[in-house]
Amino acid sequence: MGSIKSSLFISLDGVIESPETWHLPYFDDQMGAVVGELMSGAEATLLGRHTYEGFASYWPTADPADPMTKAMNSARKYVVSTTLTEAAWENSTLINGDVAAELTTLKADTHLGTTGSAALVRWMLGQGLVDELHLLVHPIVVGHGAKLFTDGETVPLKLVSSTTFENTGVVHLVYTNADAPEA
């Protein structure tokens, strides 16, 4: 059985937009280990359109000596979009039909990881498709930018673990659906 694990960098005020402008001072070995574990545990990456477009404009021409470049380009990628007509980046597949049904089928036997893609994560949480939500909460108030949660439906979650990174004060919170059976 597969799963969907979503992970996001988030500020204390809920901002997830442009983490490259505020999160880098908090990136240390502990965070790197968590990010690496989440990436290595995924058989494929699930992306929303905006994140896909940003990644697809950067990674294909990124420094080939950087090991992350090879990892990002060679990974299987599933792109959820109702507006894209193709996903041309290497190993990318477009999902644009009955998205809930397609993701349910896909996660039946594939471990999927999402990075960023806040609109997709919000929607999947509402559909009960996210098995684990990993929030890396940074001790900073950004004060502006898109937030992970906006006005919308209520989605009860259950905290299954929390870890505070010693050097930075970042808190790694892991949630599951409140209605999910105990593991």
Amino acid found at 98: D
In 3D space, the residue among 8, 12, 4, 1 whose CA is nearest the CA of residue 140 turns out to be 12
Q: What is the pLDDT of residue 68?
A: 84
Side-chain-side CA neighbours of residue 91 (13 Å): 14
pLDDT in tens, 106-153: 999 999 999 888 999 999 999 999 999 999 999 999 999 999 988 778
Q: What is the pLDDT of residue 116?
A: 84
Percent of the chain whose pLDDT exceeds 90: 75
Q: What is the pLDDT of residue 176?
A: 94
Q: Is the pLDDT assigned to residue 154 strictly greater than 60?
A: yes
> Stretch 154-174: mean pLDDT, rounded?
95
Q: What is the pLDDT of residue 181?
A: 61
Residue whose token pair is 């999402």: 114
Percent of the chain whose pLDDT exceeds 70: 98
The tokens for 36 are 């690496």
Enumerate domains of the chain plus CATH numbers.
3-177 (3.40.430.10)
In 3D space, the residue among 21, 18, 22 whose CA is nearest the CA of residue 140 turns out to be 22
Q: What is the pLDDT of residue 156?
A: 92
> Stretch 166-173: mean pLDDT, rounded?
96
Measured between alpha carbons, how far is 16 from 123 in angstroms, rounded to an integer? 16
Task: Kindly report the pTM of this predicted structure.
Answer: 0.91
> Stretch 39-56: mean pLDDT, rounded?
92
Q: What is the pLDDT of residue 162?
A: 97
